Structures are given as structure tokens and as C-alpha cells.
Structure 1
Amino acid sequence: MAVELKEMVCITCPLGCRLELEIENGDIKAVYHHSCKRGIEYARQEYYDPRRMVTATASIEHGVMKRIPVRTSEPIPIKHINALLNAIYRLQLEAPLQIGTPVIRNFAGTGIDVITTRNLETIEEGC
């Protein structure tokens, strides 16, 4: 099989190195134009198992606000993002909630939780 070149920008530090990956038979053979070894690690992670942090808002009842911001506890594989967002948007949470409260645990067996990112009081507490 022919050698393929794939370009990506490393986001692990402010340098933003423009990486070039040499791919053969679906495997990375070399990573070029990196300034540090974090670039190599980033390229491998992004090529084989791309992940992203997910942030969203979930519905909450009896709170001083109608929605509460939530995020994943760590980056989740991209293939799970749509299903995760659907699950978050179906949530019906109840105030009060404290920052860091898991509202979804171990999503799809990934070991990744969805947690709140702020405190939210009930209407009575907030008045």
C-alpha cells in the first residue's frame, strides 16, 4: 500500500506545530515537524483514538435557573459524543446541586462521568 501523508495542528501547547504524519497500512510510521515529544503523543492519540471534552447544559427543576452547565470529567471518544449529548439533553435534574456532582456515571462503559460545573440553589434558597 502507498504511504499517505496526513497533516494536523498540535494543540498541546501554544506553539501549534503543524504536524505531518506518515501513514502506511493504517499505522503511523513517523511524525514530522514537532517541537517536543508531546506532539508525537498528541498525533498518535488524535489519529488512533480522537477524544474531546464535552460541555453542555441540562434541564433542572426548582432551580434559580432553568438549566445547569455540565461537562465530561475527561475527554470522551468522538464516536460517543452525539449519544452523550442526547442523554444530557434528556436529563431532568432537581435542584439543589453542587459543583462536581455526577449527573451521568460511566457513560456507555467509558468510565467517563458527566458532572455539574456550578452550584445551583433551589428557588426558595436563592430568594
Structure 2
Amino acid sequence: MKKEVICTVCPMGCRIAVEGEGENILSVTGNACKRGEQYASSEFCHPVRILTTTIRTDREQKPLVPVRSDKPIPKEKIFDCMEMIRQQRVKTPIHTYDILVENICGTGSNIVATGTIE
């Protein structure tokens, strides 16, 4: 199987081609640095993302608080995590870095506030 990824490790944005079978990487081409090779290999075998979204609050004046995952989440679990977040309503006050959802969908990642609502 062949997959092309755009590296996000540095501003160069290399187009990297990865060829492999399952988790066995056969070749990585197009990267300008070693970090790009590591990124592309990881993206080929186990793609992960930082989840950034909002959660509803109990305040009418400020109904949403921005949040993000504190660790990358497996790409295949993103929609499950979004559904769980959609069902949440958090109580104020909320401070930056407060953990609002622990171990979301069993990923080991917490959803933390990136804003403050008093």
C-alpha cells in the first residue's frame, strides 16, 4: 500500500510518500529531514490527532468553552470522542487547563479547557 502525507513537523510541509504493508514500512521518500521520516512512518501505521473543539457550559452569556486533548488521539476514535463531547455540559467556573473529560473514549487523553469562564 502506498500513502502520501504532508509533514506538519516543520514549516517546510514536505510531501512524503510511504510504502508498506500493515505496519511494515518498505520505503519513505520525499522527506527533507529525519523528523519527517519518523512523522510519515507514524502517520502510516498509527495516525493520531490533537482534538480541538468546544464544550457547552451552563452559562447563557458564554455557552461554549474552547477545549483540546492533552495528548494525541487515534484518528479512528475522533468521531467517537466528538460524540462524547457533544453530550457534555460543564459547570462554571472553568479555568485554562482544567480537565473537563478524563480519559476520553479510553484513549488515555484528557479534554482540557483552553479558555477561562468565571
Same fold (TM over 0.5): yes
Whole-Å separation in 2 of the counterparts to 1:47 and 1:57: 28
Whole-Å separation in 1 of the counterparts to 2:7 and 2:91: 40
Task: Tell me the percent identity.
Answer: 32
Question: Counterpart of 2:64 in structure 1: which amino acid?
Answer: R
Q: Is structure 2 residue 99 aligned with structure 1 residue 102?
A: yes
Secondary structure of the 2:86 match is: helix
Unmatched 5+ residue regions in structure 2? Answer: none
1:33 matched residue in structure 2: 30
- Kept in 2, the 8 Å contact 1:63–1:95? The answer is no
Q: Is structure 2 residue 117 aligned with structure 1 residue 120?
A: yes
Q: Which runs of 4+ in 1 moved over 3 A?
A: none
1:51 matched residue in structure 2: 48
Q: Is structure 2 residue 15 aligned with structure 1 residue 18?
A: yes
> How far 1:67 moved relative to its partner?
1.1
2:63 matched residue in structure 1: 66
**Which deviations, in whole Å up to 9, do the C-alpha atoms of 1:1-24 show, x marking residues without a partner?**
xxx43322211111111212222x
Which stretch of the first structure deviates more once superposed, 62-71 or 27-36?
A: 62-71
Whole-Å separation in 2 of the counterparts to 1:88 and 1:22: 35
CA RMSD after TM alignment: 1.4
Total equivalences in the alignment: 117
Whole-Å separation in 1 of the counterparts to 2:19 and 2:86: 40
- TM norm structure 1: 0.84
- Kept in 1, the 8 Å contact 2:3–2:44? The answer is no
Whole-Å separation in 1 of the counterparts to 2:94 and 2:3: 45
Whole-Å separation in 1 of the counterparts to 2:43 and 2:99: 27
Unmatched 5+ residue regions in structure 1? Answer: 122-127
Q: CA separation of 1:55/1:5 partners in 2, compared to 1, >3 Å: closer, same or farther?
A: closer
- Kept in 2, the 8 Å contact 1:64–1:120? The answer is no
- Kept in 1, the 8 Å contact 2:18–2:44? The answer is no
Structure number with greater Rg is 1
Secondary structure of the 1:44 match is: helix
